[in-house]
Structure 1
Amino acid sequence: MMAESHGGHLGIMRENGNVDSDGSSNRDDEKQVQFAEEVTILDEDPPPDGGFAAWLQVVGSYSLYFNTWGTINMFGVFQTYYENELLGHMSPSAISWIGSLQSFLLLAVGVISGPLYDAGHLRLLLCSGWFLVPFGLMMISVCTQYWQVMLAQAVCVGVGAGALYIPSVAIIPQYFSRRKALAMGIVTSGSSFGGVIYALMFQSLLPRVGFGWATRIMGFTSFATISISVLVLRRRTPAVGIRSLLDTQAFKERPYVVYCFGISLSYIAFFVPIFYLQNYALSHGLQGQTVALYLVAILNAGSVVGRLSPSLIANKIGPVQTLLISVTLAGVTAFAWINTDTGAGNIAFSVFFGFFTGGIVALPAVVLTSFTPDLSRLGTRLGMSSMLNGVASLVGTPIAGAILNSTGNYLWIQLFAGFLFLATSAFLVALRFVITGRKLVAKA
């Protein structure tokens, strides 16, 4: 129960009713502000920008990123294992559909979870993901065929992660304003740390306990860490009710349209190096060397720093311009991948690509928040953008796999990723001028 004072207004929420400043009962007001077991604040005070409750939300959201994007960021480890062991009879492109469908569902489910979050159903979303993600990981342990892996890893884990993704992003702006970029950087670094931990866990457990128990232990870890989020995450602002799954007004706003197209292009390219990095290294400088199997973990370790660093400078030069720098350098690094044919080169590429792509995960939500005046619609707009990003991630790696199958050469998928990152940069330049006008020097 919470009491908040704002000017002459005093509202105390009780289980048996709302008591206002003159002591009278007002059950009608309570029905308008209390949704889905969520405790909300009834005033218009700005975000506290810190404090114990606010940083608890960072911890809870960090845990969600650890288990959503964290499980997807380590799919390259599964890609290598499936190609060489469990699904060795399948093509790399067919196997990559598992990871791409998983990432698609994580993002696409946002078109439903966003409005549900705005309507106050945070607890429903958390509990759904709390069950589906660990259950899917454990079911992988008994899979022997392609369609079984698709159902367990792509569908079950993907839908569960999608239920958790929007809450992990949308709740932070309710508690932070000036420190919002920093808080989001910390939260999104959870996905990189999750990618490191889960990749190392899988590679170290696989020869000791086998594939089945390796994935079961990952499932138990996921259940325990998502439990933290279920315990600590709480909405701060009032729920608004489900208005619709789409905010059609957003598509009439030029900044939102430019933003959506630009970010979706980056998602087509983002997973290509993550999925194909290890297999490329095994034939280009790290033949037969165990370190090649840890490149995904190394990439995610670099991304931990890469998600915090842009967040530290975003307040100074603006989130749009910070994201522009990150995406451009990621594109340059993707082109540098073309000439990588030594062990040291593959390790260096993993570190730098992880570092520069950190901003691609950490900053888009901050960018969207910067030009979204009505935060009560943020969950819905994030969900709409996530749907487009989901389609992009769905087609990206299978296209790369098809290119690889037809050419037998990694050069073309490296160019594919590099040019898409540069195209994203062009959209971000356009977004900056749409927001600020024709000023050459402006913060955006």
Structure 2
Amino acid sequence: MDHGQELDHSSTSSHTLAHDKEVHADDVSQESLHQPPLDGGAVEKQISKNPSVNNVNAIPNGGPTAWLQVAGSFFLFFNSWGIINTFGVYQTYYEGGILAGTSPSSISWIGSMQAFLLMLVGALTGPVYDAGYFRSLVFTGSFLVIFGQMMLSLCTQYWQVFIAQAICVGLGAGCLFVPSVAIISTYFSTRIATAMGIAAVGSSLGGVIYPIVFYRLQPSIGFGWATRVIGFMMLATIAVPNLVMKVRVLPAARRKILDLAAFREPAYFCFVLGGFLGFMGLYAPFFYVQTYAITNNITNPNLAFYLLSIINSASIFGRLIPNLVADKTGPFNMIVPCALISGILSLCLIPIKAVGPLIVFCILYGFFSGSFVSLPPTIFVHLSPNRGIIGTRMGMGFAIISIGLLIGTPICGQILAHAGFTYVWVFGGVMTVVGGSFIGAARVFQGGWALTKKV
């Protein structure tokens, strides 16, 4: 997470804003450390005109402006991770619709490439954010996700769908990712997990609303117009962050892209490895539970299409409640049990052959898997010795984790084609449990064995 400031009270600011860049901050004077922050995250009064990015006491931790940033981040998540969480309904439609005849593994590459580009491009655009191009990133990402969605409505072949949905939307979502998480750390410190959890709810809500819209409209108005309606919804909701989000401070210097010394820290290394392995298995139910229900005649197609929305609905609470608790107990103490339970639940899909247990699974899996998306940014803050390198460490970590997202669901598709659904759930469950175990090891390295310690 990085930091930014708009100085709208000087001619220097006017010149900077005209070039869509905010002024870089240097160290604060000793006197300015005692100046209280203004309400709502406004630029704090400083005896020095260059406020420090590391002055934690100056972080507002509330107020109208600060919470507007959370609202803006909410809609950035809504149209980035929310789109990723919607792909399961497209996976099911493509298998019997415009991409019928294409293997499930090949189709799943579309969704996994979206998620991969979201994290990878997000990692690479960190220095762009640091350079002051916050608005450019948000505008570019907004344009790409909407343009990709509209172009998707015209697609009829696999390569067209891949370019529009995987590449264009994925690149756009990647541009939105850093702004959605970086700006919150500049407005919150003591309540950062809560603020991040509220913002991350947007990804779940997007994953609830967009699949239902597509499923309800596609039979009556066709694939093209159902996809365009979603595009118009994206246009309306993504206008909010473009209007209300305001950068507060930027780092004193542009961050390094790499901090290889971080991998010599056992806690950081184990957490990134755990995230890589966990995300390889985490999205198996998101992509394949609907197809599983229809193929095995567990539900009728009408109910099956709502399973993904049920998962994402439960995930709203799974991203909010653990984050609220994490501010009291520590983020590691929340993500480890949630990750382990998610993996065990995936294994529990193997014997499920009835509607009731399947719906219960979707609710529980949505809740416990939600923390895997909402808590990692907060953990990267805790694993950084100072706030100036949060962006670097987060970028490296998510770049590696994105590879797990890229290859996980296509591997599931290959397993499905050759061995059936049972081994898809085995793969997803085992990888998530192993990933959660490595994150547990990171927790021990970071805070020791005491279970009651806040870590």
Fold agreement, TM-score > 0.5: yes
Name the CA shift for 1:270/1:438 in 2 (closer, same or farther; >3 Å).
Answer: closer
Task: Map 1:376-415; keep pairs closer than 5 Å.
Answer: 376-407=388-419, 409-415=420-426
SS class of match (1:338): coil
Contact 1:285 1:346 in 2 (8 A): no
Q: Is the 8 A contact 2:323 2:374 kept in 1?
A: yes
Deviates more, 1:97-106 or 1:341-350: 341-350
1:415 and 1:3 map into 2 onto residues whose CA distance is 47
CA contact (8 A) 1:75 1:275 kept: yes
Instruction: For 2:99 and 2:23, locate their aligned partners in 1 and report how far apart those are by CA, in whole Å.
Output: 53
Map 1:123-272; keep pairs closer than 5 Å.
123-272=135-284
Amino acid at match of 1:138: M
Q: Provide the secondary structure at the position in 2 that maps to 1:104.
A: helix
From 11, 15, 19, the counterpart of 2:11: 15
Q: 1:438 deviation in Å? A: 4.7
CA spacing shift, 1:225–1:72, aligned 2, 3 Å: same
Aligned partners of 1:65 and 1:190 also within 8 Å: yes
Q: Kindly tell me: are residues 208 and 440 of structure 1, through their superposed partners in 2, closer, same or farther at Cα, counting changes over 3 Å?
A: closer
Give the deviation of 1:220 after TM superposition: 1.4
RMSD across aligned positions (CA): 2.2
- Aligned counterparts, 1:331-350, within 5 A: 331-350=343-362
Residue in 2 that maps onto 1:295: 307
Whether the aligned pair in 2 keeps the contact of 1:118 and 1:377 (CA below 8 Å) is no
Q: How does 1:356-435 map to 2 (within 5 A)?
A: 356-407=368-419, 409-435=420-446
For 1:98-134, what per-residue CA distance to the aligned partner results, in whole angstroms no more than 9, with x for missing partners? 1011111011112211222223221111011011000
Which has the larger displacement, 230-239 or 299-308?
230-239
What is the rounded CA distance, in whole Å, between the counterparts of 1:159 and 1:150 in structure 2? 12
Distance (Å, rounded) in 1 between the aligned partners of 2:98 and 2:124: 34
Amino acid at match of 1:422: V
Q: Which aligned pairs between 1:41-120 and structure 2 lie closer than 5 A?
A: 42-43=50-51, 44=55, 45-120=57-132
Any conservation in 1 of the 2:13–2:23 contact (CA below 8 Å)? no
In 2, Cα distance between equivalents of 1:91 and 1:251: 38
CA distance in 1, matches of 2:108, 2:453: 41
Residue 292 of structure 2 corresponds to residue 280 of structure 1: yes
* C-alpha distance in 2 between matches for 1:351 and 1:16: 52
Cross-structure match for 2:448: 437
**Superposition deviation, residue 13 in structure 1:** 4.3
Give a deviation string over 1:255-310, Cα, whole Å, max 9, x none.
22111111111110111110001000112343534111111111101101111110
Q: CA deviation at 1:315?
A: 2.1
Structure 2 residue runs of 5 or longer lacking an equivalent are 15-21, 27-41, 45-49
Residues 5 and 248, structure 2, Cα contact 8 Å, conserved in 1: no
For 2:331 and 2:279, the matched residues in 1 are separated by: 18
Say if 2:23 and 2:250, in contact at 8 Å, map to a contact too: no
2:325 corresponds to: 313
Q: Report the CA distance shift for 1:304/1:14 in structure 2 as closer, same or farther (over 3 A).
A: same
- 2:36 is aligned to none
Find the aligned partners of 1:93 and 1:289 in 2 and give their Cα distance: 21
| Residue 342 of structure 1, CA deviation | 0.8
CA distance in 2, matches of 1:173, 1:203: 37
Cα 1:32–1:88 change in 2 (3 A) is closer
Residues 1:180 and 1:104: Cα distance change in structure 2 (over 3 Å): same
C-alpha deviation, 1:384, in angstroms? 1.4
Shift of the 440–77 alpha-carbon distance from structure 1 to 2, 3 Å rule, reads closer
One-letter amino acid of the structure 2 residue matched with residue 442 of structure 1: K
SS in 1 for 2:101: coil
Q: 1:92 to 1:252 in 2, by over 3 A?
A: same
Distance change >3 Å, CA 433–CA 212, structure 1 → 2? same
CA contact (8 A) 2:307 2:362 kept: yes
How much has 1:377 moved relative to structure 2? 2.4
> 3-state SS of the aligned residue for 1:325?
helix
Checking the alignment, whether the CA contact within 8 Å between 2:255 and 2:389 is kept in structure 1 is no
Q: Distance in 2 between matches of 1:60 and 1:321?
A: 28
2: CA distance between counterparts of 1:367 and 1:163?
Answer: 21
- Equivalent-residue separation in structure 2 for 1:337 and 1:106 (angstroms): 28
How far apart, in 1, do the equivalents of 2:252 and 2:428 lie? Answer: 40
Structure 1 residue 254 displacement after superposition: 2.5
Amino acid in structure 1 at the alignment position of 2:83: T
Alpha-carbon distance change, 247 to 434 in structure 1, aligned in 2, over 3 angstroms: same
- Structure 1 Cα separation of the partners of residues 245 and 5 of structure 2: 18
d(CA) in 1 for partners of 2:273, 2:454? 21
Tell me: CA distance 1:148–1:371, structure 2 relative to 1, closer, same or farther (3 Å).
same
In 2: Cα distance, 1:165 partner to 1:32 partner: 21
Q: Following TM superposition, by how much is the alpha carbon of 1:350 offset from its aligned partner in structure 2, in angstroms?
A: 1.2
Between 1:253-262 and 1:413-422, the stretch displaced more is 253-262
Paired residues of 1:94 and 1:398 also in contact (CA < 8 A) = yes
Quote the residue 1:27 is aligned against: none
Structure 1 residue 373: Cα displacement: 2.9
